[in-house]
Amino acid sequence: MLLSELTDVGRDPAGGVTRFAWAAAELELRAWFSARAAALALDVETDGNGNLWAWWGASLPGTAFVVGSHLDSVRSGGEFDGPLGVASAFAVVETLRSSGWMPSRPLAIVAFADEEGGRFGLACLGSRLLTGAVEPSKALALVDDSGTTLAEAMTAAGHDPRRVGPDAGRLAKIGAFVELHIEQGRMPLPDGTRGLAGADRPVGVAREIWPHGRWRIDLAGVPDHAGTTAIADRVDPVLAMAEGIVEVRRVAAELGILATVGRVRVLPGAVNAIASSASLWVDARGQDPERVRELVAAIEARLGVAAALESWTDVTRFDAALTADVSAAVGGEVPSLPSGAGHDAGVLSLAGVPTAMLFVRNPTGVSHSPEEHAEESDALAGVAALTAVIRRMAS
């Protein structure tokens, strides 16, 4: 099994795996990446933003053909989101090496740092920093739940935060990036079926990533005793938070988009005290960015407070020519799916790098969950597809 070497890393007693950026489990995965690369005689480097690169023929002429994904996970996430792309890339290189094939241009496997934003709240940090989509000072000041900044977490893991920042030279070297990824959701296809299961195909390509963003809404209360404060005298922010959560769902359904409150914080969090503050995080996505913004405006109006934008990514359309090449290399009918999930491939695409994605069938579409799954035969079909792509694009 492709990912069996990693299955125990970051196993969470609550279910699934938790592999937050720069924490112990993720560092173990970084060591695995280096060992895997060394076993294939690839040259490993960590760039200034903490992204891992394994090079085959780095000094060959021309721009690099890059494959890979990320190694971190959401809290209690699945084993496939991210690592499937990295492990598949290593499997491809192993096969190609043993067949005597040599690249004609530099070939790299990348593992982008902190794709999920599970620890510091901002997704695709490694790729955003690389492309300059986020200010280094803003990123380094982000804090996790225990108050540790990204700069402190990097330092503790042995990475110098002073190296963080845009890397135009590296970006210019990337001629194309193809990210192989587990399918997420069962997205609609033009023929009315849903997902790769509906299309009865093990592998598909991505067409676009829907615009998506994250917002935080802070609601202030007046802290007081739960047993002595008359109902009429209370300013309880938890009540407003609950109304906001229900409203997010209602407005999303009305507008035909997706919006989720998956994280809330109530302070000080005492059972017998009215809270001093309550915060909710809204993740909103959809085909039409105007509707996403409309949802946020509706919630702001309902709660009477401004939402703080934590991240925004515009609609991303993958490179048509590269995607056509990828589909041709895979052969046969290759379904083209939209993605509701964000990806480093999207960040690179917005920075002008030709990018494409391969999706490997996930029978239920469930993701960011311990139930996330791909059959071994489909994972191997993904490896075969990526092999064909590399042969076509880097021979």
Give the footprint of ligand GLV on this chain (CB under 6 A): 116, 123, 341-342
Name the residue nearer to Mn ion (CB basis): 123 or 351.
Answer: 123
* Region near Mn ion per CB under 5 A, out of 73-81, 125-133, 188-196, 381-389: 73-81
Q: Which amino acid is at 4?
A: S
Name the residue nearer to Mn ion (CB basis): 236 or 313.
Answer: 313
Q: Buried b vs exposed e over 341-365: b needs ≥16 C-beta within 10 Å?
A: bbbbbbbbbbbebbbbbbbbbbeeb
Q: How far apart are the C-alpha atoms of 289 and 175, rounded to whole Å? A: 29
Restricting to residues 283-302, name those near Mn ion by CB under 5 A: none
Of 26, 72, 81, 319, the one binding Mn ion (CB under 5 A) is 81
Specify the pairing of strand 277-285 against strand 212-220: antiparallel
- Cβ 313 to ligand GLV shortest distance, Å: 9
- Cβ 19 to ligand GLV shortest distance, Å: 13
Asked if 72 interacts with Mn ion (CB under 5 A), we say no
Compute φ and ψ for 65, nearest 5 degrees: -100, 120
* Region near Mn ion per CB under 5 A, out of 4-12, 74-82, 200-208, 323-331: 74-82
* Region near Mn ion per CB under 5 A, out of 7-15, 23-31, 81-89, 229-237: 81-89
Compute φ and ψ for 81, nearest 5 degrees: -65, 100
- Cβ 159 to ligand GLV shortest distance, Å: 22
User: Closest Cα partner for 338 from 287, 289, 284?
Assistant: 287
Name the residue nearer to Mn ion (CB basis): 114 or 167.
Answer: 114
Owner of token pair 């690389």: 130
| Both structure tokens of 285 | 């996505």
Of 48, 78, 82, 136, the one binding Mn ion (CB under 5 A) is 82
Q: How far apart are the C-alpha atoms of 196 and 253, rounded to whole Å? A: 25
Question: Residue 144 touches which of Mn ion, ligand GLV, none (CB < 5 to 8 A by kind)?
Answer: none
Compute φ and ψ for 7, nearest 5 degrees: -55, -30
- Cβ 341 to Mn ion shortest distance, Å: 6
Question: Residue 342 touches which of ligand GLV, Mn ion, none (CB < 5 to 8 A by kind)?
Answer: ligand GLV
Specify the pairing of strand 174-182 against strand 64-70: parallel
- Cβ 370 to ligand GLV shortest distance, Å: 15
Question: Residue 345 touches which of ligand GLV, Mn ion, none (CB < 5 to 8 A by kind)?
Answer: none
Q: How far apart are the C-alpha atoms of 188 and 186, rounded to whole Å? A: 7
Name the residue nearer to ligand GLV (CB basis): 50 or 342.
Answer: 342
Question: Residue 354 touches which of Mn ion, ligand GLV, none (CB < 5 to 8 A by kind)?
Answer: none
Q: How far apart are the C-alpha atoms of 256 and 251, rounded to whole Å? A: 8
Question: Residue 82 touches which of ligand GLV, Mn ion, none (CB < 5 to 8 A by kind)?
Answer: Mn ion
Specify the pairing of strand 203-209 against strand 107-112: unpaired
Write the DSSP symbol of residue 77.
B
Name the residue nearer to Mn ion (CB basis): 81 or 167.
Answer: 81
Report the run of H or E that residue 155 belongs to, with start and end.
helix 150-156
Question: Residue 123 touches which of Mn ion, ligand GLV, none (CB < 5 to 8 A by kind)?
Answer: ligand GLV
- Cβ 70 to Mn ion shortest distance, Å: 6
Name the residue nearer to ligand GLV (CB basis): 116 or 236.
Answer: 116
- Cβ 344 to Mn ion shortest distance, Å: 8
CB-CB neighbours of 371 under 10 Å: 13
- Cβ 309 to ligand GLV shortest distance, Å: 15
- Cβ 341 to ligand GLV shortest distance, Å: 4
357-363-366 Cα angle (round to 5): 80
For Mn ion, the nearest residue by Cβ is 81
Name the residue nearer to ligand GLV (CB basis): 274 or 356.
Answer: 356
Are the C-beta atoms of residues 360 and 199 closer than 8 Å to each other?
A: no
- The alpha carbon of residue 223 and the mean position of all alpha carbons in its chain are separated, in whole angstroms, by 37
Residues that bind Mn ion (CB under 5 A): 81-82
